[in-house]
Amino acid sequence: MDGNEQTIGFHLPGELMGLDAINHERFTCFTVALETSSVCELPISRLNDLCSKIPNLQIQMLRILGKEIASGHDQIVLLGHHSAKERMAIFLLSLSCRYGALGFSGTEFNLSMPRHNIANFLGITAETVSRQLADLGRLGVITVKQRGVQINDLNLLKAIVEPCSAK
C-alpha cells in the first residue's frame, strides 16, 4: 500500500459490506469500525447455496447489488458535478434516508466518522467539511453539536440540492 487512502462509503447497521469480493474473490478494501459493531461473515460459497435454495434471497441479493451499482454511479456524479455545499447536503440527505429506512431518526443522528473521512469521501478538504457544516448551521438548516447532527429544515436541505424543484 502506498499510503494513499480513499473512503468509498460508510455502512450503517444491517447494511452489507464486502460485496466487491464477489468479483475479485478477495477483498479489495478494508473496513474500519467507528463504533462498537458486530459482523456476520458469510462465505460466498454458502451464499450461493442459500440463493439456490431460497429464490427470493437471490432476488434480494440482485436488488442489493443493483443498489451498490447505483450508489457508485451517484458517487461519480457527486464528485464531478456538485459544489461543496451540494456535496455536503447530498451526504446529509443520504444519511437521513438510510437511517430512516433502518427505523432510526432521519433528522437526528451522529456523524461517527471523522471529518477527514467525510472530506475524503466527498472529494473536499476537512476544513471545507467543517465550513459547510457551519454554513448550514448559520442558515438554520442543521444544528451540529460535536458529532451530533439535527436536521432542522429537511425541505431547505433538499432545496440546496434541487434548487429548481424548490421554486
Whether 97 and 106 have beta carbons less than 8 Å apart is answered as yes
pLDDT at 145 over 60: yes
- Is the pLDDT at 167 greater than 50, yes or no? no
Instruction: Give the C-alpha separation, 25 to 81, whole Å.
Output: 33
| DSSP symbol at 142 | E
pLDDT the model gives residue 1: 45
Rounded distance between C-alpha atoms, residue 66 and residue 2, angstroms: 31
| Secondary structure (3-state) at 133 | helix
Q: Tell how far CA 92 is from the center of its chain.
A: 9
Give the H/E segment covering residue 150: strand 148-151
Model pLDDT, residue 2? 54
Residue 117: which pLDDT band, with cuts at 50, 70 and 90?
Answer: very high
Q: What is the pTM of this model?
A: 0.80
Taking alpha carbons only, the member of 151, 7, 148 closest to residue 93 is 151
Q: Which fold has domain 83-167?
A: Arc Repressor Mutant, subunit A (1.10.10)
pLDDT digits (tens, 9 = 90+) for 56-86: 998 998 898 888 888 877 777 777 788 999 9
Percent of the chain at pLDDT > 90 equals 50
Report residue 120 CA to chain centroid gap.
12
Q: Please name the amino acid found at residue 66.
A: G
User: CA-to-CA distance for 33 and 38, rounded, in angstroms?
Assistant: 9
Residue at 44: amino acid letter:
I
Element (H, E) at 143: strand 142-145
How is the chain split into domains, by residue range? 9-81, 83-167
Whether pLDDT at 166 is above 50: no
